[in-house]
Structure 1
Amino acid sequence: MVGAGVLGLPYAMSELGWGPGVAALAISWVMTLYTLWQMVEMHEPEPGKRLDRYHELGQYAFGEKVGLYVVVPQQLMVQIGVNIVYMVTGGTSLKKFHDTICPSCTPIRRTYFIMIFGSVHLVLSHLPSFNSVTVISVAAAVMSFSYSTIAWVASANKGVIADVQYTPRASTDVGRVFQFFSALGDVAFAYAGHNVVLEIQATIPSTPEKPSNKPMMKGVWVAYAVVFLCYFPVAIIGYWVFGNSVEDNILVSLQKPACLIAAANMFVVIHVIGSYQVFAMPLFDTVEGWLVKSRNFKPTLLLRICSRTIYVVLTCFLGCTFPFFGGLLGFFGGFAFAPTTYFLPCIIWLKIKKPKVLSLTWFINVICIVIGVALMVLAPIGALRQIILQAKDYKFYS
């Protein structure tokens, strides 16, 4: 659950302000926990039937064809978007690690560090299944908690910087509005577990006596407790210390103690190595299944090598081309994460469970849908403007 989006939360706070920022974090935490619970409960909608993929849940609710059209494009955007952002994150953190431990060394382009990070996945992407990345995933979980803790502890130890300001970053009313929209997308990006939750639950045995939703929800509660302990201190303390001068990656703002900051950046690298694979594995499964079933390719080792290598190279190329961490968070957070995380589970719940109209459950789901749709529309607008502004002065592949 804890993704690299946590590093952008202080920046989001600087665009939202104290009140709206804390409210956005809290509301997102509650809403996404609720929608994640819905997905866990709908994994087995009837005895003996398990929906092991997000698109299978969509097909069960809307029909074979409509379900695919509703879910698959959005899920693909999420998985590809996350992998592009993680390419940028991994390369940026590698560069920060290099610059921190060797400040006198010749500067190296971030593009090269992104390519180095991508080359790791040219190897790891050929692991066969989720179970193969278990060790990597455990390491990633430990790393994410570690660098989140370092981020807020180092910030608190640094203390509030001189002349700190908590006024909006933009100087114009139009700029403030667009930054507010983009920041909502930054927050949405941080809550990213829904897109692979059914694939994860599918690995848990299930019987009528011991259904899979019980142990799965225990895992969800633990995950969300860790999310709370990571997200809120990083966002609040990071903004408190740096104010509106905080970078879109909090670890870039921190300079000392050098060894600790270098370690935190390396933790980020290890974490996003694991997270990249967690989001890429279901996509590999989908693409290879489509090639074999619909395009009559033979399920050979050559097919796996070609399809997965092309995907890693593509995400690496896009990461090198558009390495705008903050803008990408907001864009994909709103455009892709809002549907699959904030309101699509609620729509499917209304379709499958059919709660009584105007009942409490019905009202809760409708409110979540309204908030999620607003987020999907507004966040990409603000983020796209931010990317355009950043691209004006950016020298590509530098």
Structure 2
Amino acid sequence: MANESVKLKPLSPSNKYTDGETGGNGNSPGSNEDYDPHLHREVENPTTNVETLIHLLKGCLGTGILAMPEAFKNSGIFNGLVSTVIIGVLCTYCLHVLVQAQYVLCKRLKVPILSYPESMKLALESGPLCLRPFAKYSPLLVDFFLIAYQLGICCVYIVFVGVNIKAVGDQHTSEPLRLEYYILAAFIPFVLINCVRNLKLLAPFSTLANIITFASFGVVCYYVFQNLPDIDDRPAFGRLYTYPLFFGTTLFALEAVGVVIALENNMKTPKSFGGYFGVLNVGMAFVVVLYVGMGFIGYWKYGEAVEPSITLNFPGNEALAQAILILYSIAIFISYGLQGYVPVAIVWNTYMLKRLEGSNRLLLWEYILRLVCVILTFILALTIPMLGLFISLFGAFCLSALGLAFPAIMEICVNWPDNLGRFQWILIKDVLLIIFGVVGLLAGSYSCISEMVIKFQEGAT
């Protein structure tokens, strides 16, 4: 988005980074240690700490929280509780690692801001020799995962809205309509929300969505706390085969790397983002508690009968349940604008704007891009309308790389070779994170695709 991009001051020749200038570890002898990238940012329409926290909560409190009970079904109730906390802490830590690595690179290069793809490229260029050949390809790879993930979220949101509105519509029609009709009926509203070009203008909508979400939680609790069965009826541990599905769903729910980067880059006071009681930790702590509670109580209540969205377990003939389905659909619809902001920004600023330089139709081309993104997400949603598996697949495939492996690789590179800590503990820790991320990507993606194939075969028969 042209009006939201952070203006970068061009590097002078003396500020450009080369391996020879850093002595191999990225620390330029002539670097100015007093340079603070945060003080040199020029951001149009910066967001305050409160607005950033609101956006962060809305970015995390999407469809994922309603899918947590089904995730607990795949992990077991006790295993799900412990694993969700661990994954939440891990996600938050890796986000800190990513933001700090970007800050270090900005400080070295004396530039106010770097995107995720730029940071990955520069980090690899200063890292171990075996990784440097991959530097020139890394921006495209990071952009691919970022765009795929954010478009995946948008697809999930479309299916969620369609499924919930259909559940209400089926109560008021003599013959239920196909899900595809409800999804298509929502096309124009989704186009309109994705045409909001200013992140700051979305803040009031995010506030409204948060109000709706928290109000809906009260009604959700009303249903799930009624007539709870014996908790001993719920297995403490699930099957090993289904655990990758839990991992993917939980990672999708908790990890909002694309939104986090955009929010930190657009803050008025970016130093308030990190820290023990910064925006990121406060927001993520609140989110993890809500996700653990929703997953635990929801699975305790409905057990193996739990739906991909717990709202679908509520009695469809009750007006209160129908109201929740509609209100939560409105909240998720609003969130589409925030999630759609990221892929549009990447494609527009990185790939289109420089090719359209000098054109007097930039605004038209930007709106065409926004329309194309909506059309693409609707095509995917109509092709594979499997809400639960959609959530798990995009979580495992994209976020294992973006949220776990890539930040760990960047931290190794920016600290290479002399700042890896006593006994090389940073290197050991990050290698373990990389292995964990790769295993999660492969196992989670395989499990999701296998389940999708099975469901397609069942549908064909």
Question: 1:376 Cα deviation (Å)?
Answer: 0.7
CA contact (8 A) 1:85 1:328 kept: yes
* Equivalent in 77, 81, 99 of residue 148 of structure 2: 77
User: What SS does the aligned partner of 1:317 have?
Assistant: helix
Question: Runs (4+) of structure 1 moved beyond 6 Å?
Answer: none
**Shift of the alpha carbon at 1:226?**
2.3
Quote the offset at 1:97 in angstroms: 3.3
Partner of 1:172: none
Same amino acid, percent of matched pairs: 20
Amino acid at match of 2:160: T
In the TM superposition, residue 85 of structure 1 has moved relative to its aligned partner by 1.1
Candidates 272, 276, 291, aligned match of 2:352: 291
Retained in 2: the 8 A contact 1:4–1:268?
A: no
* Stretch moving more, 211-220 or 71-80: 211-220
Equivalent position to 2:212, from 127, 143, 148 = 143
Contact kept, 8 Å, 1:195 with 1:341, in 2: the verdict is no
Q: Contact 1:43–1:52 (CA<8 Å) still a contact in 2?
A: yes
Q: Determine the C-alpha separation between the residues in 1 that align with 2:313 and 2:124.
A: 47
Letter in 1 for 2:431: V
Instruction: Report what 1:261 is aligned to.
Output: 321
How much has 1:312 moved relative to structure 2? 0.5
Aligned alpha-carbon RMSD (Å): 2.9
Which stretch shifts more, 291-300 or 82-91? Answer: 291-300
Contact persistence 2:193–2:336 (CA under 8 A)? no
Report the equivalent of 1:387: 452
Query: Is the 1:151–1:234 Cα contact (8 Å) retained in structure 2?
Result: no
Preserved CA contact (<8 Å) 2:274 2:280: no
Cα 1:178–1:264 shift into 2, 3 Å: same
154 and 257 in structure 1: CA distance in 2 versus 1, 3 angstrom threshold: farther
Structure 1 residue 226 corresponds to structure 2 residue 293 = no
| Aligned counterpart, 1:44 | 103
Q: Which has more radius of gyration? A: 2
Asked whether the 8 Å contact 2:262–2:342 carries over to 1, the reply is yes
1:293 is paired with a residue whose SS is coil
State the aligned residue count. Answer: 385
Q: Is 1:349 aligned to residue 411 of structure 2? A: yes
In structure 1, stretches of 5+ residues that fail to align are 170-175
More helix by share: 1
The Cα shift of 1:325 comes to 0.7
- Aligned mates of 1:202, 1:217 — CA distance in 2: 19
User: For residues 384 and 441 of structure 2, what CA distance do their matches in structure 1 show?
Assistant: 21
Check conservation: 2:412, 2:426, Cα contact below 8 A: no
Contact 2:76 2:234 in 1 (8 A): no
CA distance in 1, matches of 2:322, 2:223: 12
Cα deviations by residue, 1:19-55 (Å, 9 ceiling, x for unpaired): 3322321111110110122233334224453335322
Verify the 8 A CA contact 1:137 1:275 in the aligned structure 2. Answer: yes
Quote how far apart the aligned CAs of 1:379 are.
0.4
Task: Give the TM-score normalised by structure 1.
Answer: 0.87
Match of residue 268 from structure 2: 205
Residue in 2 that maps onto 1:124: 193
Tell me, yes or no, if structure 1 residue 328 matches structure 2 residue 390. Answer: yes
TM-score (norm 2): 0.76
Residue 295 to residue 65, structure 1, CA distance change in 2 (3 Å)? farther
Which residue of the partner structure matches residue 223 of structure 2?
154
Which residue, 435, 439, 455 being the options, matches 1:374?
439
1:173 matched to which residue of 2? none
Q: Distance in 2 between matches of 1:167 and 1:228?
A: 20
Could you list the per-position Cα deviations for residues 344-373 of structure 1 after superposition, in whole angstroms to 9, with x for gaps in the alignment?
Answer: 112111211342364444443333222222
Work out the CA distance in 1 between the residues paired with 2:302 and 2:263.
38
Whether the 8 Å contact between 1:188 and 1:334 is mirrored in structure 2 is: yes
Give the counterpart letter for 2:190 in structure 1: H
Aligned-partner SS, 2:111 = coil
1:33 maps to 92
Determine if the alignment matches structure 1 residue 55 to structure 2 residue 117. yes
Q: Pick from 88, 97, 102: which aligns with 2:159?
A: 88
Shift of residue 230 of structure 1? Answer: 1.7
Deviation at 1:159, TM superposition (A): 2.2
* CA distance in 2 between partners of 1:257 and 1:363 (Å): 55
The question of 1:107 aligning with 2:176 is answered yes
The residue type paired with residue 379 of structure 1 is G
Q: Deviations over 1:68-108 (max 9, x none)?
A: 13311111111111111111111112222334xx4455422
Aligned partners of 1:67 and 1:125: how far apart in 2?
Answer: 28
* C-alpha deviation, 1:286, in angstroms: 2.1
Residue 164 of structure 1: how far off its partner (Å)? 5.7
In the aligned structure 1, how far is the partner of 2:277 from the partner of 2:262? 14
Cα deviation code 1:218-250 (max 9, x no counterpart): 221221132123211110011111112211211
Asked if the contact 1:166–1:244 (Cα under 8 Å) also holds between the matched residues in 2, the reply is no
Q: Does 1:10 align with 2:69?
A: yes
Matched, 1:97 2:168: yes
Specify whether residues 96 and 217 from structure 1 end up closer, same or farther in structure 2 by C-alpha distance, changes over 3 A only.
farther
Structure 1 counterpart SS, 2:186: helix
Question: Does the 8 Å contact 2:123/2:410 carry over to 1?
Answer: yes
Instruction: State the AA in 2 paired with 1:76.
Output: I
Q: 1:138 to 1:167 in 2, by over 3 A?
A: same
**CA–CA separation in structure 2 for the residues paired with 1:146 and 1:335:** 32
- Counterpart CA distance in 2 for 1:193 and 1:146 is 23
Question: Distance in 2 between the 1:367 and 1:215 partners?
Answer: 24
AA aligned to 2:81 is V
